Amino acid sequence: MATDNKPAVSIKDMIKKDRILNSGHRMCAGCAAPVVIKLMGMALRGPTIVCNNTGCLEVATTIYPYTAWNLPWIHVAFENAAAVASGIIEATKVMHAKGHFEHEHVDVIALGGDGASFDIGFGAISGAMERGHDMVYMCYDNGAYQNTGIQRSGATFMGQETTTSWAGSVIPGKLERKKPIAEIIAAHKIPYVATVEPSNYRDFITKFRKALEVEGPAFIHAFSPCPRGWRSATGESISLSKLAVETGLHPLYEVINGEEWIMSSASKNLKELKPVDEYFKTQGQFKHLFKPEWADFRKRIQEQVDHDWELLKKRCGVE
Amino acid sequence: MSEKYNEIPMAGNIIEPGNSLKYKTGGWRAERPIHTDETCLWVKNGTCGRCWIFCPDNAVVLTEKDGKHAYAYNLEYCKGCGICANECPTQSIHMESESK
């Protein structure tokens, strides 16, 4: 398995690294989640166990009698990957002490979609972060419960249409704002929190490796476009992810010990945000926002995004 | 899957890692990627590789032998999403309908 100790960030190193997720998985064409997992694999440093919450990734990569995973992998329920990971960490320690397990340290990674992380499993994550287990929790955020039929979640953007926030004559999609999950987890004062997305892949791999290396819990919020739910072209997934950074909808930053905020990669180099309309235009789930009656609502979204961006810049000490 | 009930591992466990390779997803494809070597940066000097990095199905096969870089697709798994064509900085890849 992935025993090479350096993270692979150049293409020549990447193609030599063992893949952790095989072909033949049944994620939709154009889904960015397998790319997120591939990049995660580039950052691994040794024996690793993956715990997966229920979600697209869990369902579509392990359809019986097949599994796409080349790593030890466990799924228990929708909400408890963080709790399962806590158990595994403690169990491997005890088993090693008793001589039943060869490795002194195993990297334990918990994975969840946005539904499992923002809503259903939030308590389990919060608990695991508070108890301080040495794990990495990664949330791949595709903006809704895509697996069960595109229902709204805490990660759904304002104005986004889902099957439980239909846009019509009464409401323009979801009315509430997106839960700032990375900020909430950072408020637990854990050693490392970072936001990533696949198109800035070097930044992704470096941050994931940092998350593995810190002592104590780390949280990664990865943006992961979903062509099926977003009504976008399958080939555009990675460029949409890039656009989300450029429009300020998914800024890239790190938070160390809940105190030191650092703007990173593409977000740091951004002179000014692109208008969110550019992002909305690319997807069917936002097309209702361009009707004249929702022009004011669209303006409100832009103001909200600008406000959040200014606040983040202030926190990170960026002019 | 054609095992008898007593040949299935206990509790339905999957004991072979990564055995999804037996499940070919190439049949999902409506468009196939066509690649031209002339402008490809990987073939030219072994850089770039964006198509490989962003392919969700590991369907791009990049190989290096004696300083020569070769490019191929594994069409048994390619779902035809078109990410490679969209991400290619030199437009060396385009998508073509499978019905042609």
pTM: 0.94
Q: Which residues of chain A have pLDDT under 50?
A: 1-3
- Which of A14, A67, A235 lies closest to B82 in CB terms? A235
Residue ranges covered by each domain of chain A: 11-316
Does residue B24 lie in a domain region? no
Residue B12: per-residue pLDDT? 82
CATH number of A11-316: 3.40.50.970
Q: How confident is the model at residue B3 (pLDDT cuts 50, 70, 90)?
A: confident
Q: Tell me, what CATH number does B38's domain have? A: 3.30.70.20
Q: Binning pLDDT at 50, 70 and 90, where does residue B2 land?
A: confident
Is residue B10, in this structure, part of any structural domain at all? no
- Using a CB-CB cut-off of 8 Å, the residues of chain A touching B85 are 235
Looking at residue A265, its pLDDT comes to: 84
Contact list in B for residue A39 (CB cut-off 8 A) is: 53
CA distance, residue B86 to nearest chain A CA (Å):
6
Give mean pLDDT, residues B86-99: 95
Domain that holds residue B92: 31-100
Answer whether residue B17 is part of any domain: no
- By C-alpha distance, the chain B residue nearest A42 is B53
Contacts by A181-187 with C-beta closer than 8 Å and gap 24+? A181/A117, A181/A118, A181/A139, A181/A141, A181/A154, A181/A155, A181/A221, A182/A219, A182/A221, A182/A253, A182/A255, A183/A255, A185/A125, A185/A126, A185/A129, A185/A219, A185/A221, A186/A219, A186/A255, A186/A258, A187/A258
pLDDT at A120: 95
Q: How many domains does chain B have?
A: 1
Residue B46 pLDDT level (bands cut at 50, 70, 90): very high
Q: What is the pLDDT of residue A176?
A: 95
Kindly state whether residue B96 falls inside one of the protein's structural domains: yes
Contact A211, A136 (CB under 8 A): yes
* Residue B70 covered by a domain: yes
